Amino acid sequence: MYPVREVPQIREVRRCEGSEYRERYMSSIGLRSIIAAAFVAVFVCGSSQVALGQGQRPRVVTIVPRTIHPGDVVRIGVSGRAEDRIDATVFGQALSFTFDESRRVWTALAGVDLEVKPGAYRLLVQRNGAAARTQTIQVVRKRFAVRRLRVSGSFVEPPAEALAQILLDGKILAEVYARVTPQQWTGAFTQPVDGPATSNFGTRSYYNGSLRSPHAGVDFVGKTGTPIRAANHGSVALASSLYFTGNTVIVDHGARLFSVFAHLSEMHVKEGDIVSPETIVGLVGATGRVTGPHLHWSVRLNGARVDPMSLIAATK
């Protein structure tokens, strides 16, 4: 069973109700499965039609990390030339490749959603529309921390009058995550604030005995007013106050990779702004459903909720 860590006082809860509640309603696991099936069908049909392309099958040269868990960002490298076109799917995601001139390798990131079931998944790779190469990616079970908390009912359930805003927020977020823009991020992602993450990604919490959605980001406890950096290049897709996450800035790094910075005391950017890794997007605060000032940083990659620290590791 999972290890159980008791947190006896609500004062010690440094987490974000918003992400949990929202994820519960915004989950698109079902949709992802349908997309996955569609891609598999396309590749299977495609490979039977282009038997002459056998010699052109690309070679998968890198899959990092070696052991893959739910919530991980996986870097996939494929052999090829700059003039090639590489297409690949895994976990129901169509991957976006860029050519690494120095290593002569095409690379892409895939996101393993934090609720993906352990098991074998098929990576299909095509070069220039020729026959697909299939490779198995094994997702290994991870034991996320579990917390059991007793809190007042009003802390767990939002008041009825907040429902309209919660629904509107969900619609706005779905529109943001549906954006598909050219890749702007480059090189390694960096932490938006200094210091260690204080809440583990994926932690499962029971509030008054009932299981909530897992924590889909990392929290950094910091003083109100601490500057938050953009972590990489991108453009601001959202700078707005939301019910659960308070003042929220979402940076679209391009190629379906988004950073969410939540609970800000101040937002220093507006929608449409172009940001670089060192751009200050806002300041640490305690807006939204929180119990103390902290930065909640979450990342969406191809629709998957992934560990931001894994994104840093995968892009080093």
Q: Which residues contact Zn ion (rule: CB under 5 A)?
A: 15-16, 217, 219, 296
Looking at the Cβ atoms of 217 and 234, the one nearer to Zn ion is 217
Q: Which amino acid is at 191?
A: Q
Shortest distance, position 16 Cβ to Zn ion, whole Å: 4
Looking at the Cβ atoms of 110 and 216, the one nearer to Zn ion is 216
Looking at the Cβ atoms of 237 and 260, the one nearer to Zn ion is 260
Shortest distance, position 218 Cβ to Zn ion, whole Å: 7
Looking at the Cβ atoms of 14 and 148, the one nearer to Zn ion is 14
Shortest distance, position 20 Cβ to Zn ion, whole Å: 9
Q: Nearest to Zn ion by Cβ — which residue?
A: 296
Shortest distance, position 308 Cβ to Zn ion, whole Å: 11
Shortest distance, position 221 Cβ to Zn ion, whole Å: 10
Looking at the Cβ atoms of 53 and 292, the one nearer to Zn ion is 292
Shortest distance, position 80 Cβ to Zn ion, whole Å: 39
Looking at the Cβ atoms of 15 and 300, the one nearer to Zn ion is 15
